Structure 1
Amino acid sequence: MPASTRFAAAAHIMALLAADRSRPQTSEALAKSLATNPAVARRILGALAKAGLTQSELGKGGGARLARGPKKITLADIYRAVE
């Protein structure tokens, strides 16, 4: 995935996670919003998690959540995570 697309997708994912913090979001739901394959969403989530921006919850009802409050995450943090 080209760099600009990767950053745009990562920012989109982070916005979705920030918009609904009540429950974890699955890679399938995130990918549907991005109109892409869930594997792409998982790859981006992996980079975001490695940077400490998201965390995963395993098992039934699991998915991705923000690792810290959305006000403490900048676009620069997201860019550095995926580039």
Structure 2
Amino acid sequence: MAQNARFRLSLRVLSVLAAEPEKMHTSAAIADELKESAVMVRRTFLLLHKAGLIVQRKGPNGGAKLKRAPKQIGLGDIFQATAGDWFSVGDKALDAWLGKVRGDAIAAMNEHSLGGVVKRLGKAGSKK
């Protein structure tokens, strides 16, 4: 899956979790709601869990939920969780500089939060 598609799916998954923050959401239920593959949602869960953005629980009452409030999760945090090794060209000097550029980009993205996304989605939904 391409970087922008991973970010997009992660943002959508986190938005579902943010809508009911205390509820444990299964990958199957989210996949059904988003009309996505359950496998891709589970892979997204793994990335988000590894980044510390969600908590997961196994078993009959298992699933995932946000680890922090939506307004405390920056878009840069989400992007970084899904990005993989981007901005790397294999040149030591250039990669060091590009690392700074990447950090600046993540910081700029973190000026906006998942809370803002959820708020905008709510406004868009109310206009239907």
Which residue of structure 2 lines up, in the alignment, with residue 76 of structure 1? 76
Q: Compute the displacement of 1:33 (Å).
A: 2.3
For residues 47 and 22 of structure 2, the distance between their equivalents in structure 1, rounded to whole angstroms, comes to 22
Which residue of structure 2 lines up, in the alignment, with residue 29 of structure 1? 29
Structure showing greater Rg: 2
Q: Quote the sequence identity (%).
A: 37
For residues 67 and 31 of structure 1, the distance between their equivalents in structure 2, rounded to whole angstroms, comes to 20
What is the RMSD computed on CA atoms of the aligned residues?
Answer: 0.9
- After superposition, residues 47-58 of structure 1 pair within 5 angstroms as 47-58=47-58
Deviations 1:5-63 (A, max 9, x none): 11110000011101111310000011112222111001011000000000101111210
Alignment gaps of 5+ in structure 2: 84-128
Runs (4 or more) in structure 1 with deviation over 2 Å come to none
Q: Structure 2-normalised TM-score?
A: 0.62
Higher relative contact order (CA 8 A, sep 6+): 1
Aligned amino acid, residue 44 of structure 1: T
Alignment gaps of 5+ in structure 1: none
Higher normalized helix content (fraction of residues): 2
Aligned amino acid, residue 76 of structure 1: G
How many residue pairs get aligned? The number is: 83
